[in-house]
Structure 1
Amino acid sequence: MLERKLTKTRIRGGVWEGVFAGSETKPDLEVLLLEQPLAGVQVEAVAGREGEWGVRVPIPAEALSEGVQTFLMREKGTTETLAHFTVITGVAMEDDMRAEVDLLRQELDMLKRAFRRHCLETMN
């Protein structure tokens, strides 16, 4: 089985761009901000590179607010984060520590929900 990997290539004009590799079929990707999916995620085959898909994610203006915003990227129906990107606005970025802490919080929240769901399912 091919390793599934999503790699950032750039952010330009308010659009995150990357390449998803490791799938012969078009992946069904979603991008979450504060546990809510974003609209407009585009996935298209990369010409001449079998198993690779170009991914474009428009960053909505309403998502830009004071502080750190972390966008999580995964295949629908899974909880594994393939990639993430962070936008920091309104404050000087002393270092990337705040972005890492925000990512850890989001992933911890996702794990807590999955664990609670597992406990409920196994109690019955």
Structure 2
Amino acid sequence: MKLELSRIRAGHWEGIIAAGAPPAPEVVHLDQVLPGLTVDAQPDGRWRLTLPIPAELLHDGVQTFVVRDAGSGDRIGHFTIIAGVPLDDDIRAELDLLRAELDMLKRAFRRHCAETGT
């Protein structure tokens, strides 16, 4: 089983998984299984998962939700929600900072090469 599609619409997370038999997934946030997950068969043999996202779980920062098989505990996939002011140590903010520093170093190196004629 693998999560093939994941999106959020109107406060509901939707996912598509391919599985031969009816799956028994669950969505976990901070070691708590979330209620309200529905599993519907699709005409193409896949399964649509739908979960209303509880408003009380949305905070500033990054929230990660893990989709796993309820029986085995195997991870099927995950989805992440970033809300409010991003955390200072958020990986995306770090990546943006690294890109800006790299651009600054490239400009300084080019200026050095132009000034020294190398």
Which consecutive segments of 4 or more residues in structure 1 shift more than 6 A? none
- The partner residue of 1:97 within 91, 94, 97 is 91
CA distance in 1, matches of 2:7, 2:87: 19
Q: 1:40 to 1:34 in 2, by over 3 A?
A: same
Following superposition of structure 1 onto structure 2, how do residues 9-20 of structure 1 map, counting pairs within 5 Å? 9-20=6-17
Task: Give the deviation of 1:77 after TM superposition.
Answer: 2.4
Match of 2:40 in 1: 44
- The normalised TM-score by structure 2 is 0.69
Equivalent residues of 2:61, 2:87 under 8 A apart? no
Task: Give the deviation of 1:65 after TM superposition.
Answer: 1.1
Match of 1:6 in 2: 3
Task: Give the deviation of 1:93 after TM superposition.
Answer: 7.8
Identity %: 45
Partner letter of residue 26 of structure 1?
A: P
- The normalised TM-score by structure 1 is 0.66
Q: In the comparison of the two structures, how many residue pairs are matched?
A: 92
Match of 1:53 in 2: 47
- When Rg is computed on C-alpha atoms for both structures, the one with the higher figure is 2
> Which runs of 5 or more residues in structure 2 are unaligned?
93-118
Task: Give the deviation of 1:67 after TM superposition.
Answer: 1.4
Q: Does 1:73 align with 2:67?
A: yes
Equivalent residues of 2:4, 2:15 under 8 A apart? yes
Q: CA RMSD in A?
A: 2.1
Partner letter of residue 28 of structure 1?
A: A
CA distance in 1, matches of 2:50, 2:87: 25
